Amino acid sequence: MEIVPEGIKKSTWNKVLDYIAMSDEPPPYLLMDKEVIREKVGQIGRTIRNAKVFYAVKANPDIEVCRFLAEQGLGFEIASEGELRILAEIGVAPERIITSNPMKTFRFMEEAVAYGVNYFAYDTRPEVDKMARYAPGANVYVRLVVPNEGSEWPLSKKFGVEIEEAAELLIYARDKGLNPVGITFHVGSQCNNPYNWQSAVDKARELWETAAEAGIQLRMLDIGGGYPIRYTKNVVEIETIEKKIDKALRQRFAEDVEIFIEPGRAVVGDSGVFVGTVIGKTKRSGDENWLYIDVGVFNGLMESVGGIKYNYIVGARGEARSWTVCGPSCDSMDVIDKEAELPEPEVGNRILIPSAGAYTISYASEFNGFSIPKVILI
Ligand SMILES: *Cc1c(COP(=O)(O)O)cnc(C)c1O
């Protein structure tokens, strides 16, 4: 096919078609275009001075994806012993690993410390006690609560404290023999509002000064993740976001402050293309078009429930119509889209879903006996 469908790069499109033609791998599977990942790795952090990038493994913990990212020189942000074991298996040095999970399991603390991980986030006193017991003297950073407006996946309510409490927690950590080094925040995932980072940087600056007054000289600011990718709508460019962040940082912070960035979605999201199959279609309630495919909410497209809208590519050429698209399981929650515009495919046809590299496989379960799609780097 000569025409490249919307929502996919021409080079990726060609690779995907070649793979499908050459391979006898049964769908569904997730193809990840290495070239797109490499490009994103090249973009992220480039426009922010003193920035180090730590890939948030939960976005896609596939071991080959992690290996590829390690080869590209990225660090890693992890939250669990499972994520740690993946990195251990590919030999990532502990200096390249941080954990920004403010509520760590005991088992994870034990394994992370044994491995040599030495950067831990927190936002409560009991967590300080835990870290002081398992990781005496470790570098710790406090999670500040910041506005999450304009992000499709807000996170802030679960974690983070206000400035005053954060300052107290930094002091408490120092008094417990830990080494308070910095501040972190998260503006929310798929954040299309650059001002979130600006106001977060302002807030972090205030905390930085409050800490200094209490005799704690911080050296690191971790600006979290949240960079958006394109699904069906255009989003703000990473460079545009980073220029704004960098400007705010230059205005508020000294030259030598270390900046950590922890993107997940933006690193791997738009490199991924699900290859699935149309397994059924019908009309229900009179004139509603229903389409059934072999990738659904439970085995890869969980984020559709939270409002992420995907593009669907089918080989049919007819006029586009509105479809309710469902996954293969027997659960009524397994509906991915209630108004997908696409031409009518035949049962048995391939269906492609771009921008599926992040928060798909990592969320997937084998609910109802449907297997988790294999990840294949192309
Ligand atoms: C999930 C998460 C990230 C990555 O967020 P994205 O929106 O995927 O960039 C970074 N840091 C922490 C602490 C997270 O929980």
Contact assessment for residue 221 and residue 253, using Cβ atoms and an 8 Å cutoff: yes
- pLDDT tens per residue, range 135-189: 999 999 999 999 887 777 666 578 999 999 999 999 999 999 999 999 999 999 9
What atom of ligand 1 comes closest to residue 151's alpha carbon?
Answer: 7
Helix (H) or strand (E) holding 55: strand 51-56
Residue ranges and CATH numbers for the domains of the chain are 10-31+270-377 (2.40.37.10), 45-262 (3.20.20.10)
Q: Which has the higher per-residue pLDDT, 285 or 151?
A: 285
**Ligand 1 centroid distance, CA of 56 (Å):** 6
Ligand 1: residue of 43, 44, 58 to mutate (most ligand atoms within 8 A of CB) is 58
330 is an active site residue: yes
Ligand 1 centroid to Cα of residue 224, in Å, is 6
Q: In angstroms, rounded to a whole number, what is the distance separating the alpha carbons of residues 79 and 56?
A: 9
pLDDT tens, 302-338?
A: 999 999 999 999 999 899 999 999 999 999 999 999 9
Distance from the CA of 243 to the center of ligand 1, in angstroms? 20
* Per-residue pLDDT, 3: 77
The minimum-distance atom of ligand 1 relative to the CA of 100 is: 13
Evaluate: CB of 104 within 6 angstroms of ligand 1: no
CA dihedral 39, 98, 101, 243 (to 10 degrees): -40
pLDDT at 178: 98
User: Across the chain, what does the average pLDDT equal?
Assistant: 96
Strand order in the sheet with 97-98: 97-98, 75-77, 51-56, 258-261, 220-222, 179-184, 139-143, 119-122
Q: What percent helix, strand, coil does the chain show, rounded to 5?
A: 35, 25, 40
- Residue count (the chain): 378
> How many Å lie between the centroid of ligand 1 and the Cα of residue 195?
18
* Mean pLDDT to the nearest integer, 236-254: 96
Asked if residue 263 has its Cβ within 6 Å of ligand 1, the reply is yes
Residue with tokens 């920004």: 100
The residue to which tokens 């996919």 are assigned: 8
